[in-house]
Structure 1
Amino acid sequence: MRKILFHLSLILLFSSCISNKRITYLQNLSDSTAIGLEEFIPFAKVDYKYILQPFDIVQIDFASSDPTLVEGFSFQRPMQQGMVGGGGGQGSDPLYMNGYSIDESGMVEIPRIGKVEIGGLTEEAAKNLVQEKINAYFKDDVYVRLRIAGIRYTTLGEFNRVGVQVIYKNRATIFDALANSGETSLLGKKNKMFLIRQYGEGTKIHQINLNDRALLGSPFYFIQPNDILYIEPMKIRQFGSADNLTASLALFGGVFASVLLIVNLVTGGI
């Protein structure tokens, strides 16, 4: 009886441990081609370009050798307090307050010009369309710059910080997104991260293995605006979060030791 209980306790102990292989990034896994250190890894060729969608926010700036020409295109832009660096709802986002929001019909309303439909276009095509509208309005040269107001994405599941995040870069990798979101928790399934991506005509769910070094050459190495990143928890998550798992296991161990003591006293007295 004692031997059985001893072996059961060992099984429970080892089953509660988390292998380093499950939490280490960029490994050379057996089912993929090995990639050595300092080996050149070309980026995957991706034909897809982000399509502007309803409720996106874009920044549109106008410039001219004659400053009076562009005064009518500028909103009043007071100093913003608490500019958001990473998202999560802290402070206010000046690009949200002063950018151009695309409505549900794909239109933006520009002073003097009126409504322009840029939804469904790439960033470059939208810029060219607004430039055409400006050229038709002015005889003098007025130049347009249009860009997405940062890369906004959402983190769900086993992240240390969940919610809508923002990276103020033109291009960001999946690891930029992880770092900006406070990393994943210890109990997240890094080998099965779901990336939900919006395309021109709908949405697709992709599965990513963060443990695999081959990710560096994957078409999902770079994130896109409006991506949703979701990481499932490991089964051991039912015993508690990464923060209180040690306490939960200690409590379980104490209870289990007490049971062993009681069983030992009962069986020893028989």
Structure 2
Amino acid sequence: MKHALIWMVVVFFSVSCISNKRLTYLQNLPENQYIDLDEFIPYAQVEYKYILQPFDIVDIDFASSNEELTKAFEFQGSRAMRGGGMMGGGGDIFYFTGYSIDQEGYVLLPKLGRVHIAGLTEEEARLRVQEAINAYFKEDVFVKLRTGGIRFTALGEFNSSGTKVIMKNRATIFDALALAGESNILARKNKLFIIRQYDGGTKIHQINLNDRQLLASPYFFIQPNDILYLEPMKIRQIGNADNFSASLGLIVSITTSILLIVALATGNL
């Protein structure tokens, strides 16, 4: 009976253990030889640029020596609202002060009317608005156009899921992981899904956080409106990383009690 108990505990531990290979980031390093940690890994040959899409919100500023002219393009109190730090809860910081791109890809600007900017990069959209305003006004007016950082959503085995905003023009997948509280011990780091929006549709991409080739992947940099979903391991059914030890102790205690009862009933104790 003692041997049976020992074997049950050994089998349970062997099934429940999680290998470090499933937890460590950026593996595939050569073994038993000198590792050059200064190895240069070039980025994938994909130009990092975000294409504006319908329902995006952009901030458009106008500057000119003629103050009366620039006031015509400024929402009342908009600058004060921006200075108040209106980012809250992962929302767009320009929700109340920016210009929303409609379903057809246009923004509605004072004096200029509807200007189509969907399908363009930020710089291309800025130049288009600049052309429109140059055709309307004789005086020089400088245009600045930008999005409200990189907003993404983290779902699944993150310590802090939800919608997040990174106030940068470019951010890596590890920037996103750090902001989402990294992944917990029961996450399948070889199965992180990126749900990415494209012009006219959506694609799902799977990446492996354990593989250092991720650094050269076209998905190393995240884009605005990305959705990151991290799958749990099958062991998640037994308990999470916080209560797994308690669950294991409870199972061992119950097993021991059952074996004792059986031993007493059969007279083998």
TM-score where L is the length of structure 1: 0.89
Q: State how far apart, in whole Å, the 2-side matches of 1:35 and 1:42 are.
A: 18
> Distance between the aligned counterparts of 1:132 and 1:82, measured in 2?
31
Q: Is the 8 A contact 2:106 2:115 kept in 1?
A: yes
CA apart distance, 1:260: 2.5
Q: Is the 2:107–2:115 contact (alpha carbons within 8 Å) kept by the matching residues of 1? A: yes
How many pairs were matched up? 263
Which string of whole-angstrom CA distances, capped at 9 and with x for unpartnered residues, describes residues 47-105 of structure 1? 46422111111111111233322111111224465643xx7x27x75322212111222
Corresponding position of 1:19: 19
Structure 1 residue 136 displacement after superposition: 1.1
- The secondary structure found in structure 1 opposite 2:213 is helix
Amino acid at match of 1:9: V
Correspondence 1:248-267 to 2 at 5 A: 248-267=247-266
Question: What one-letter code is carried by the residue in structure 2 that aligns with 1:10?
Answer: V
Offset at 1:195?
1.0
Alignment RMSD, CA only? 2.2
Aligned match of 1:113: 112
Bigger mean CA offset, 218-227 vs 3-12: 3-12
Q: Distance in 1 between matches of 2:29 and 2:264?
A: 49
Q: Quick one: percent identity of the two aligned structures?
A: 62
What does 1:1-270 correspond to in 2, within 5 Å?
1-28=1-28, 36-47=36-47, 49-75=49-75, 76-77=77-78, 78-79=80-81, 83-84=86-87, 89=89, 94-269=93-268
How far off its partner does 1:131 sit? 0.7
Following TM superposition, by how much is the alpha carbon of 1:157 offset from its aligned partner in structure 2, in angstroms? 0.8
Shift of 1:7: 1.1
Deviates more, 1:21-30 or 1:216-225: 21-30
Q: Deviations over 1:109-136 (max 9, x none)?
A: 1122122121222222211111111101
Instruction: Tell me if structure 2 keeps the 8 A contact 1:113–1:133.
Output: yes
8 Å Cα contact 1:99-1:149 kept in structure 2: no
Paired with 2:263 and 2:36, the residues of 1 have a C-alpha distance of 55
Residues 158, 209 of structure 1: alpha-carbon distance in 2 compared, 3 angstrom cutoff: same
Alpha-carbon contact 2:5-2:256 (below 8 Å) kept: no
Q: Using a 3 Å threshold, how does the CA distance of structure 1 residues 246 and 179 change in structure 2: closer, same or farther?
A: same
Paired residues of 2:93 and 2:148 also in contact (CA < 8 A): no
Structure 1 runs (4+) greater than 6 angstroms displaced: none
- Structure 1 unmatched ranges of 5 or more: none
Equivalent residues of 2:44, 2:218 under 8 A apart = yes
Question: CA separation of 1:35/1:44 partners in 2, compared to 1, >3 Å: closer, same or farther?
Answer: farther
Q: What SS does the aligned partner of 1:258 have?
A: helix
CA distance in 2, matches of 1:36, 1:27: 14
